[in-house]
């Protein structure tokens, strides 16, 4: 006797039995892991370059602390001024705006982006903030306050260098804004994974 071609634990091939479900592939247009990593590197690099623009805007818009010297010591021109707080606030507001715009642009260009792009946005935000900080400080007033005071002479107002009193918090404004905006856009307008269609199995044929 020959063994049956159809194992006993499997139903015989019959037209009443539907074909197996096809394997679910990736959504159309979804990039590979290598492509995502390259895209994330580009996003981080572009964010770093954009940090130069943030630094220039901070230098232009931030309020200035005015100092004065009597020839022996340097004093605040207005001891009750809030310009120092305004420096931090201006930087944070600009960084939040840059983070939101960066996230929106990345979402529009790479709608199928995954976790690699989000990490690229975060790292790029920190890099851009550091570049902005360095740009504003480097192009701003002289950081050597004593030498600056001697150069302008006594009883002459001059500007203090740009500073961030809450530098750690300011560095996080851009990446946090970028991740929140990107997450919101992905949740609202991002592509949806295809759901398998429900298909009922027909009843077994009666014997």
DSSP states of 75-133 as a string? Answer: EES-TT--HHHHHHHHHHHHHHHHHHHHHHHHHHH-TT--HHHHHHHHHHHHHHHHHHH
Give me the helices (H) in the chain, please: 33-61, 83-109, 115-139, 145-152, 167-189
Q: What is the pLDDT of residue 192?
A: 65
Q: What is the pLDDT of residue 24?
A: 44
Q: What is the pLDDT of residue 3?
A: 52
Pairing of strands 158-159, 74-76: unpaired
From first CA to last CA, the distance across the chain in angstroms is 24
Residue ranges, the chain, pLDDT below 50: 13-15, 17-18, 20-27, 200
Q: Quote the CA–CA distance of 154 and 139 in Å, as a whole number.
A: 24
Q: What is the pLDDT of residue 23?
A: 42
> The whole model's pTM is what?
0.74
Neighbouring residues of 188: CB distance < 8 A, sequence distance ≥ 6:
none
74: part of which helix (H) or strand (E)? strand 74-76
Q: What is the pLDDT of residue 25?
A: 41
């Amino acid at each position: 006797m020959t063994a049956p071609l159809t194992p006993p634990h499997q139903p015989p091939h019959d037209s009443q039995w539907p074909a197996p479900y096809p394997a679910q592939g990736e959504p159309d247009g979804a990039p590979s892991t290598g492509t995502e990593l390259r895209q994330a590197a580009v996003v981080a690099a572009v964010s770093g370059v954009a940090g130069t623009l943030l630094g220039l805007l901070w230098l232009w818009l931030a309020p200035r602390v005015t100092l004065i010297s009597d020839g022996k010591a340097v004093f605040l021109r207005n001891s009750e001024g809030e310009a120092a707080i305004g420096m931090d606030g201006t930087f944070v507001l600009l960084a939040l705006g840059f983070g939101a715009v960066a996230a929106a642009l990345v979402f529009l260009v790479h709608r199928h982006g995954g976790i690699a792009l989000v990490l690229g946005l975060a790292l790029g935000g920190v890099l851009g903030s550091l570049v902005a900080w360095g740009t504003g400080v480097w192009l701003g007033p002289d950081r050597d306050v004593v030498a600056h005071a001697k150069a302008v002479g006594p009883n002459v107002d001059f500007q203090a260098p740009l500073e961030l009193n809450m530098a750690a918090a300011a560095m996080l404004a851009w990446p946090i804004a970028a991740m929140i905006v990107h997450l919101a856009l992905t949740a609202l307008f991002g592509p949806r994974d295809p759901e398998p269609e429900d298909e009922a199995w027909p009843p077994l044929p009666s014997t």
